[in-house]
Structures are given as C-alpha cells and as structure tokens.
Amino acid sequence: LAFVLRSLSSCRVLVVGAGGIGCELLKNLVLTGFKNIEVIDLDTIDVSNLNRQFLFQKKHVGKSKAQVAKESVLRFCPSANITAYHDSIMNPDYNVEFFRNFQLVMNALDNRAARNHVNRMCLAADIPLIESGTAGYLGQVTVIKKGQTECYECQPKPTQKTFPGCTIRNTPSEPIHCIVWAKYLYNQLFGEEDADQEVSPDTADPEAAWNPADAAARATASNKDGDIKRVSTKEWARSTGYDPVKLFNKLFKDDIMYLLTMDKLWKKRKAPLPLDWTEIHHLGACGTGLKDQQVLGVQGYAQLFHRSVETLRSQLIEKGEGAELVWDKDDPPAMDFVTAAANLRMNVFSMNMKSRFDVKSMAGNIIPAIATTNAVIAGLIVLEALKTLNSEFDQCRTIFLNKQPNPRKKLLVPCALDPPNPSCYVCASKPEVTVKLNVHKTIVQALQDKILKEKFGMVAPDVQIEDGKGTILISSEEGETEANNNKFLSDFGIRNGSRLQVDDFLQDYTLLVNLIHSEELEKDVEFEVVGDAPDKAPTPSVPEEGKNIANGNKDSAQPSTSSKAAEDDDVLIVDSDEEPSSSTMEASPESSNRKRKHHGTDTDDAASKRKRLDQQPADDDEDIIALD
C-alpha cells in the first residue's frame, strides 16, 4: 500500500474537463492520493451548473471552471500540486509533446469533437486514456491503450444527441446547437416555460470580467445599450404583442451585443455578428430547388421568422388567455419558426445555414444531467486508473452503468476490452479510407469542411494529391489555397481511383483517402464512406469465461455522445456469469484523422463502446436537445 501511495503522489495525470464528471473526478483523485494533477476546461461557470457541479458556488458564476475547481479541490488536499488551464484542449499549444508529460489522461468531456481529438493525441503520444461519459441515468467508462484496445473511434458512432446547456445559450459551434436553442425559444415564447431552457444571456453570469464589480457594470451597460430587461421571455414577448420585429432585434441584435460584452468568450472563438432588422434587406432572400431543401438567405429566413411568429401569435389568441402551444415537428408554423430562428442564429455565429429538411431531421431528445450518475462514473474512472497505473491492463474493463438492473440484478456491467479494429482509420498502422462522391459536383471547401473536418474529425488538414506532382489541394496555412475552395475536385484532375494524402500536424495523423467517383449517390447524399455502417454493431467476440466481476469493481458507461442514451429502455442484458466483450454490448465510435508527424509514430488505441443486445428504434416523435 505504501508503494502504491508513493507512486500515486509522483505520477502526473491530465484531467480534460471540469464539469459534471470532472468535479467529482478531481475530488476523488486528490482523496485517493494523486498529487500532481493538471486540469483543462474552456468553459466558465453558469448558474445551471450549480445543481450538480459541487465544487462551484453562486459566487463563482462567470469564472473559469478549471481555476475554481482547482481552488476548491485544494481545500480537500492543500499539499496537492494542481495546474489549471482555462483553455481548449484543441489549442495547438497542447501538442503531442504536452501529452507525453503525463502517465495517464482522463476524459471528462461533453462533446465528441474533443473526445476524438484527445483520443488521437493520446494515440500519438502513446499515453493510456480513460474515456467516460454520462447521459441521464446511463454511464460508461473504458480504457484505451495504444495497440492493445480499441480506440475511441474504432467503431462507427451514431450522431451525437446531447450538448452542454451553456454551449446552447452562449457559444454555439454547430448547427444542432442553434436548432436546440430555437426549440427552447419556441417553448419560452409559445409553450410551457422551463427555467432550464432559458435562451437569453444571463446578466447574473457575465463572463466578460472576473471582478464582480466590473461584471455588474458591464451587465448594467449592456442592459442600457441593448434595452434588455431580464424578465421572463414570454412576459417580455407578451408586452410587445409578440411583435416580430421587436422579437427579431432582441434575439439577434440586443442579446448578441450583450454576449459580445463577455469578451473572455471571444478571445479564442470567432465573435458573433449581430443582425438588425432594418439592415437585412440586402443580404439575400431565397434559394433554389425543392421548397424543403432550399437554404434561404438571411432575408428569406427573417421573413419566414416574421410570418411564423404572426401565425403562432394568432394560434395563441384563438386558444384564449393563458394558453400554451405544444411543439410538434409536423406542425408547419412550429417547424417554420424553429427553422428560421435556428438559421438566423447560425448566421450570427458564422455557420453554414441549413434547409428546413435538414433542421427537421436533426431534431432529438433532451437528456438531463444526473449528479449521482456523474459520481458513480467518476468513482469508476479512478478504479480503472489505479489498475492502469499498476500495469494491470488485463484487469481493465469497459463498464456500463444501466438505467435498470439486468436479470442478474446488476446495474454495473463490466465487459472485456476489445482489441484494436484493424480497419480503423485512426489507430491502424496505416490509416486508409475510401470515400464515394461525385468529383464534378464536390468542391474543395466541402471536402475540407464536411468530409475531413466534420466526418473524419480533423482540425487543420493538409491535402496533397498523389498525382506524381505532389499537387497541394488544401493547406492549413491561412491564405495558401483559399483560391481552390470553390473549385470542383475534377478541376484538379481528380477522378475515379484518385488518392489523397491528408495530414493533420496537430494530431500527428496521416490518412490516405481513396476516392471513388459516382453519379448514383442517393438523393441529398453528398458522399459515402465505403464500409461505414454507423447503425451496425461489430461482430461479437467470444466472451471471456470464468471472470465474474462484482459491481463497483470496474468502470464504464455509455458516453453522452451515443444516441442510444436517448432511448427510454436502454437496459443491457447479461444472462450468464461469463463476461461479454464490450463490442457485444454497444458500438459507437466515429472516424478521425491525424496530420503530419510531430515526433512520435502512428498509434493504435481503442476505446470500447457498448452495443445493446436488443436494439430499439429511436422515438421519431421526440425531438433532440442536449445538456451535460
């Protein structure tokens, strides 16, 4: 025991994320004996965090999660050496050499992009990673070790359905964040109000300044300049008679101007651009194609917003005093409102806008954050960390926390870790993937944004055509290849059978992309990854026999990135004392990439995911949204 304690006090560990899981984890680490901890989180503390992130108090609102978590944890163990970074883990400063400073990395993240990135950095640095996640009452913990286990992206993942509330309100970075915000807005204006679905920036939470006096001053100035009264959104809307123009200017001008006073938010993010109703007439109105598949301009969506507000206002009046409307994605006015509001917010935050068809298809279920789930998962992370640091990888497990006991009356179900997927385009020794697309219709910008960044999770890809001349198609250096962005792939001699070498220097990752030209892709499908089957489970491996693991002995739960978490009946069935492989439980990774080599070599890592034995279709009648 003394040896173990000495080793814990000397080893350096990195905790990525200081939110729901992160707070519990940091507390557990110092109480277990870990003394050298570094924690990184870009977020600041929001009032809505206080019900479960117990290291934070009301006086900390607006401050750095990582810094306050450090200060709070030091009260448990003043002798601990904790370094806090108020920053994004995807910042190039945190390169492969940074990760090599640690003996173990522990993820406590809430989004897939960051999970993919940390997975690749740990593979490149050959550092063990403990991945975790929660979604309501469900949770999962798994261990990823290069060359020994599946990496986080070894198996295809369904689309993420959960997102942090502070991201939705203040710093959206993906279209789904804006769609979730628009659905919250619908309920705040026309439906049943929910305090957890507030859409406006909160004057009590100014992230613009650390000094409370400065923060209050800025909040006051913002209220004056933007004429913003922090009252109920519905109450304010009623006072205006649901005037569409006033609503527009409050939501897309005044509130955005207020967000801009939170200057700390925009030091490492692109600042939003307010919209003014009187200035949008020149911004473009309509698109082309089928009605539901058109992407309208800002003017078009502003007009749609105006019409839908008037229609919904009339419906409220018809229902009488105190009436409420219920969201229904098949109700045209409701869908028009969410489509318009979401797209206007996308424009404000410099995102590509989406068609009505896309917005409707991206809707989903709200999953609440449960404090006890975070606590259970954080405890399991530490148990797996102890085994990992003691080089007991054969004892490590993927552990799922289920909503209901299985037939053996267990809520915690341990599974053997799966070996690396030899076809993984992240951790294979020579990552390679085949993409089917139309080279005459796909532009370079779409290749970069939709395929390399969105699908394969790269941060700053460089692309070279293997044409014998080494033609550079995309450069991560700003301005070098911007002239190529709107050209078609065929303009560069790319055709059926062409090969692209894609490098991501930050992630120390190289991917070979084989292109198949096709003019027969399904309607509205821009590209297909050959062999990619996100809804299929991997072939079940033979269960390990003779190992009956007691509850609490191992970690794991389904991460919040899995859409399975949104299902009401997500119970895993294990009928015998044999320990199943995690791949028989549930699969959920996505693809990723790494760029030019940094210092290390390619790495093979694996993160186990759980595949439900009894798959149940998602409830199409419910719409998606996300919290922790």
Known binding positions: 17-22, 41, 49-52, 65, 88-89, 110-115, 151, 154, 424, 427
Tell me whether residue 504 is exposed, middle or buried, using C-beta atoms within 10 angstroms of its C-beta: 0 to 12, 13 to 18, 19 or more.
Answer: buried
CA distance 387 to 397: 10
Query: Identity (one letter) of the amino acid at 474?
Result: I
Residue 166 annotated in active site:
yes
Phi, psi of 587 (to 5 degrees): -110, 140
Binding residues for ATP, as ranges, are: 17-22, 41, 49-52, 65, 88-89, 110-115
Binding residues for Zn(2+), as ranges, are: 151, 154, 424, 427
C-alpha closest to that of 454 among 354, 541, 547: 354
C-alpha closest to that of 23 among 87, 58, 59, 72: 72
For tokens 């269960």, what's the residue? 543
Catalytic residue among 122, 166, 396, 415: 166
E strand or H helix that includes residue 308: helix 298-319
Residues 6+ apart with CB under 8 A from 242: 189, 309, 310, 312, 313, 316
322 dihedral zone (left: phi>0; alpha: psi -120 to 50; beta):
left
- Please give the C-alpha separations between residue 446 and each of 346, 352, 361, 577, in angstroms, as whole numbers: 18, 11, 20, 49
CA distance 385 to 29: 10
C-alpha closest to that of 179 among 368, 349, 370, 43: 349
Q: Are 590 and 116 in contact (CB under 8 A)?
A: yes
Both structure tokens of 585:
């439980």
What letter does residue 324 receive in the DSSP assignment? -
Question: Which residue spans within 112-223 are E strands per DSSP?
Answer: 129-135, 138-144
CA distance 33 to 5: 6
Q: Rounded to the nearest 5 degrees, what angle is found at the Cα of 102, between the Cα atoms of 96 and 107?
A: 85
Instruction: Indicate the pairing of strand 509-517 with strand 499-504.
Output: antiparallel
Give me the long-range contacts of 284-291 (CB less than 8 A, separation at least 24).
Answer: 287/355, 291/356
350 dihedral zone (left: phi>0; alpha: psi -120 to 50; beta):
left
For tokens 């502003």, what's the residue? 302
Query: Identity (one letter) of the amino acid at 363?
Result: A
Query: Identity (one letter) of the amino acid at 366?
Result: I
Question: Which residue spans within 424-475 are E strands per DSSP?
Answer: 432-437, 461-465, 472-474
CA distance 49 to 110: 13
- Please give the C-alpha separations between residue 354 and each of 297, 310, 341, 346, 437, in angstroms, as whole numbers: 10, 22, 11, 9, 21
Q: Are 252 and 228 in contact (CB under 8 A)?
A: no
Both structure tokens of 45:
């503390």
CA distance 433 to 529: 7
User: Is residue 606 helix, strand or coil?
Assistant: strand
CA distance 490 to 439: 5
The span from the first CA to the last CA of the chain, in angstroms, equals: 36
User: Is residue 299 helix, strand or coil?
Assistant: helix
**What are the residue numbers of the active site?**
166
